[in-house]
């Protein structure tokens, strides 16, 4: 277990360096770095969650149209009873050795390229893998005067299954906080003209394997990390109000005509 945790710490440290110095990012017109995937939606319903992931909503929740880093996000994982459950974790991964939970703001995403360099991908076990259910995500494109936000969603209205990795952070007072990062990869042909990155998703037939604590070979691990095919997606521009985390209404995903 200690070796597994050590490998996980090395991965997170490497990912932070990659995030800061190598991985592409977008700066919004408000001057803040907007990472990929830096915002997404979760318009969850009992029917969609049950049909897609076999879980139930833990309580009545409101739809989220603009989920931002450091906020609590929904996550499907295997709990101690061996069953799938949906719970909420902090978006931005931190580990037990971190002195400050703010380190998680540097690791809202982990590039699949970082994981591909790990000789011990099978170390990502012990219920460290999870699924972030989402209806869509935002990307930002360079423009003449400002960064233009776009919204990406499924044409059929179904849920996306973002691949997530978890870590547990212990506060100075001894409390434990579960944190999460979303794995990203190179964008598909539809997204690439707008942004170079997009979240990885887990196909329905791979959900059980991904959520299990089974050891995965490096080949199996990366064969599971996919992007949704372009023909299943639609993308359109939205208003720049989505740049503000406080803006969390249905207006965020309305198509926007820009010039």
- Express each pLDDT in 65-79 by its tens digit: 999 999 999 999 998
Query: How far apart are the C-alpha atoms of 139 and 161, rounded to whole Å?
Result: 17
Question: Which of 176 and 250 is assigned the larger pLDDT?
Answer: 250
Strands, E assignment, the chain? 26-27, 33-34, 40-42, 64-67, 72-78, 84-91, 109-111, 129-134, 136-141, 148-154, 160-170, 176-186, 197-199, 233-237
Residue 170 has pLDDT above 60, yes or no: yes
Best CA proximity match to 202, nearest among 179, 188, 183: 183
DSSP per position, 33-50: EE-TT--EEE---HHHHH
Q: Is the peptide bond before 37 cis (omega within 30 degrees of 0)?
A: yes
> Are 184 and 36 in contact, with CB atoms under 8 Å apart?
yes
pLDDT above 70 coverage of the chain, percent: 75
pLDDT band at 60 (very low <50, low <70, confident <90, very high): confident
Give the pLDDT mean for 136-162: 90
Kindly list the domain boundaries of the chain, sorted by start residue: 2-253
| Residues forming a β-bridge with 22 | none
**235 vs 59: which has the higher pLDDT:** 235
The pLDDT of residue 116: 62
Fold topology of 2-253: hypothetical protein yedk fold (3.90.1680)
Could you tell me which of 108, 111, 114 has the C-alpha nearest to residue 184? 111
Six-digit token pair at 230?
């372009």
| 125 pLDDT more than 70 | no
Cα 62 to Cα 106: distance, rounded to the nearest angstrom: 27
Q: How confident is the model at residue 33 (pLDDT cuts 50, 70, 90)?
A: very low
Supply the DSSP symbol for 174. S
Highest average pLDDT, of 12-21, 112-121, 125-134, 159-168, comes from 159-168
CB atoms within 10 A of CB 101: 15
**CB under 8 Å, gap of 24 or more: what pairs does 253-256 form?**
253/41, 253/65, 253/136, 253/151, 253/153
Q: Residue 23: pLDDT above 50?
A: no
Q: Are 139 and 150 in contact (CB under 8 A)?
A: yes
**What value, to the nearest 5°, has the Cα angle with vertex 132 and ends 17 and 48?**
165
The answer to whether the CB of 237 falls within 8 A of the CB of 54 is no
Residues 222-237: b if buried by 16+ CB within 10 A, e if exposed = bebbbbbeeeebebeb
Mean pLDDT across the chain: 81
Cα(62)–Cα(235) distance, integer angstroms? 24
**pLDDT the model gives residue 244:** 95
């Amino acid at each position: 277990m200690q070796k597994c945790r050590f490998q996980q710490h090395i991965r997170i440290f490497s990912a932070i360096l990659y995030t800061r110095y190598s991985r592409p990012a977008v700066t919004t017109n408000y001057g803040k770095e907007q990472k990929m995937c830096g915002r997404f939606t979760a318009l969850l319903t009992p029917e969609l969650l049950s049909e897609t992931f076999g879980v139930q909503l833990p309580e009545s929740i409101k739809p989220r149209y603009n989920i931002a880093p450091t906020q609590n996000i929904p996550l499907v994982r295997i709990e101690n009873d061996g069953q799938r459950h949906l719970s909420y974790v902090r978006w931005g991964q931190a580990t037990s050795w971190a002195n400050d939970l703010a380190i998680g703001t540097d690791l809202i995403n982990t590039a699949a390229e970082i994981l591909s360099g790990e000789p011990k991908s099978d170390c990502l076990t012990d219920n460290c893998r999870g699924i972030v259910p989402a209806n869509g995500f935002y990307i930002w494109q360079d423009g003449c005067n400002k960064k233009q936000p776009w919204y990406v969603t499924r044409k059929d209205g179904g849920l996306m299954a973002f691949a997530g990795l978890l870590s547990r952070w212990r506060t100075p007072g001894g409390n434990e906080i579960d944190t999460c990062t979303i794995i990203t990869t190179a964008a598909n042909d539809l997204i690439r003209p707008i942004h170079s990155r997009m979240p990885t998703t887990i196909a329905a037939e791979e959900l059980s394997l991904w959520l299990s604590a089974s050891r995965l070979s490096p080949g199996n691990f990366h064969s599971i990390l996919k992007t949704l095919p372009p023909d299943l997606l639609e993308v359109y521009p939205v208003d720049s109000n989505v740049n503000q985390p406080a803006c969390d209404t249905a207006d965020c995903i309305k198509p926007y005509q820009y010039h």
